[in-house]
Amino acid sequence: MWEDAGVTEDLDTEVLVVDPNHPEPAAIERAAAVLRAGGVVAVPTETVYGLAADALNEAALGRIFEAKGRPEDNPLIVHVADAAGARAVTGQWPEAAERLAARFWPGPLTLILPRHPSVPRRVSAGLDTVAVRAPAHPVMGALIRAVGPLAAPSANRSMSISPTSAAHVLHSLGGRVDMILDGGPTSVGIESTVLSLVHDPPRILRPGSVSRGELADVLGAVDGGNASDDAGGGFVANGDSPRLSPGTSTRHYAPEAEVVVVPRGDAPGLARALSDGLADGKDAGVLLHTLRPPAGTPSETLPDDPKGYAAGLYAALHALDARCRRIIIEAVPETEPWAAVRDRLMRASA
């Protein structure tokens, strides 16, 4: 038992294995009972594992922030079953939202819209907006249908590497949450694209697997934002105000190890970074996608395509973080298909 940020780790976290494609009704009902009682349950989605609580229960929402050590100025995403569920938690449902939902839901797209008064302000860090999406994973979908809308950020300690397996959740939040539904590894591997429809034109606040080009095919003009700029990166105009979107902190998705990024294909730069790590007394590992790993160095190699890379990114970071005090990452291309991966690497190395 240990204490951190006023939270005592003393819960008996139950891990319940479920069929990811056809979740057993009895397992869903057990998890639903925990949620109806105000508990928190880690659940697989197609992106990453989420830490779910009843989105309309103020006390249950507090347990999410408490378990994660999450600042309350960082909003939560409300997960719904479909567009009808989204209309129930939003104050406005414009025609653009209807078209996007028809094209991308269920799936990894989150929309920022005006918040319905029935949704606690705590969900949205006190703002009058709400982030909402319909996840594609059968386990999360079944749980939403059993309970109603669920608030669910990633199921890990705040700012750390997001979990793509139940083992990652247990390592990060074991003893802090009531239950983990183990539905195996996630498929997309990084968090959803967040698109603000309260901006004109609509603005991407967090890149994800739904690209700017795909959104533009539906909407026309889409502002790609600027991850280094507060307004474009998901903050409201006043830098001291709550964020419109989760996942926009300068440092986020980060391992405990120091992260160093070297240029793509730069073998000499990789060797120098490894040498510098040894000089600093830091055991180093490498995360590559075109370079060959040096002999004897802990390494993970990911596919040289953005979707394959994204699917394995967090699992690779978890594996290296468990062995190394410095992680050297080969940079990815500066092209639009790699935008979401670049965003995660930028925040991990900030």
Residue type, 334: E
pLDDT at 198 over 90: yes
Q: Report the relative pairing of strands 49-54 and 203-206 from DSSP bridges.
A: unpaired
Tokens coding 266:
């730069």
pLDDT at 261 over 90: yes
Domain extent at residue 214: 3-219
Q: From residue 277, how far is each of 91, 259, 296, 328 by CA, in Å?
A: 52, 11, 15, 9
For residue 241, is it within any domain? no
For residue 233, is it within any domain? no
CA distance 186 to 183: 8
Q: What does the pLDDT look like over 131-157, one tens digit per residue?
A: 999 999 999 999 999 999 999 999 999
Three-class secondary structure of residue 296 per DSSP: coil
For residues 188 and 273, membership in a common domain is answered with: no
For residues 57 and 130, membership in a common domain is answered with: yes
For residue 299, is it within any domain? yes
As for how many domains the chain has, the answer is 2
CATH number at residue 136: 3.90.870.10
For residues 305 and 172, membership in a common domain is answered with: no
Q: Report the relative pairing of strands 49-54 and 41-44 from DSSP bridges.
A: antiparallel
For residues 148 and 70, membership in a common domain is answered with: yes
Residue where a domain terminates, one of 219, 236, 267: 219
Q: From residue 112, how far is each of 83, 92, 275, 311 by CA, in Å?
A: 13, 11, 45, 25
For residues 184 and 112, membership in a common domain is answered with: yes
Residue where a domain terminates, one of 168, 190, 219: 219
**Average pLDDT, whole number, for the chain?**
91
For residues 42 and 92, membership in a common domain is answered with: yes
Residue where a domain terminates, one of 155, 190, 219: 219
For residue 227, is it within any domain? no
For residues 113 and 40, membership in a common domain is answered with: yes
For residues 148 and 195, membership in a common domain is answered with: yes
Q: What does the pLDDT look like over 224-245, one tens digit per residue?
A: 875 433 333 333 333 445 678 8
CA distance 274 to 270: 6
- pLDDT in the model for residue 10: 65
Tokens coding 190:
């990084």
For residues 185 and 282, membership in a common domain is answered with: no
For residue 246, is it within any domain? no
For residues 196 and 262, membership in a common domain is answered with: no
- pLDDT in the model for residue 158: 93
Tokens coding 153:
């950020």
Q: From residue 85, how far is each of 80, 169, 227 by CA, in Å?
A: 5, 27, 30
- DSSP string of 196-225, one letter each residue: ESSSSS-EEEE--SS-HHHHHHHHS--B--
For residue 56, is it within any domain? yes
- Say which residue the tokens 């060797």 belong to: 271
Cα-to-chain-centroid distance, residue 58? 22
Q: What does the pLDDT look like over 167-194, one tens digit per residue?
A: 999 999 999 999 999 999 999 999 999 9
For residue 86, is it within any domain? yes
For residue 225, is it within any domain? no
DSSP-assigned letter for residue 49: E
Three-class secondary structure of residue 324 per DSSP: coil
CATH number at residue 267: 3.40.50.11030
Three-class secondary structure of residue 90 per DSSP: strand
Of 85-94, 165-174, 218-227, 329-338, minimum mean pLDDT range: 218-227
Residue type, 321: D
For residues 188 and 334, membership in a common domain is answered with: no
Three-class secondary structure of residue 166 per DSSP: helix
- pLDDT in the model for residue 8: 42
For residues 60 and 171, membership in a common domain is answered with: yes
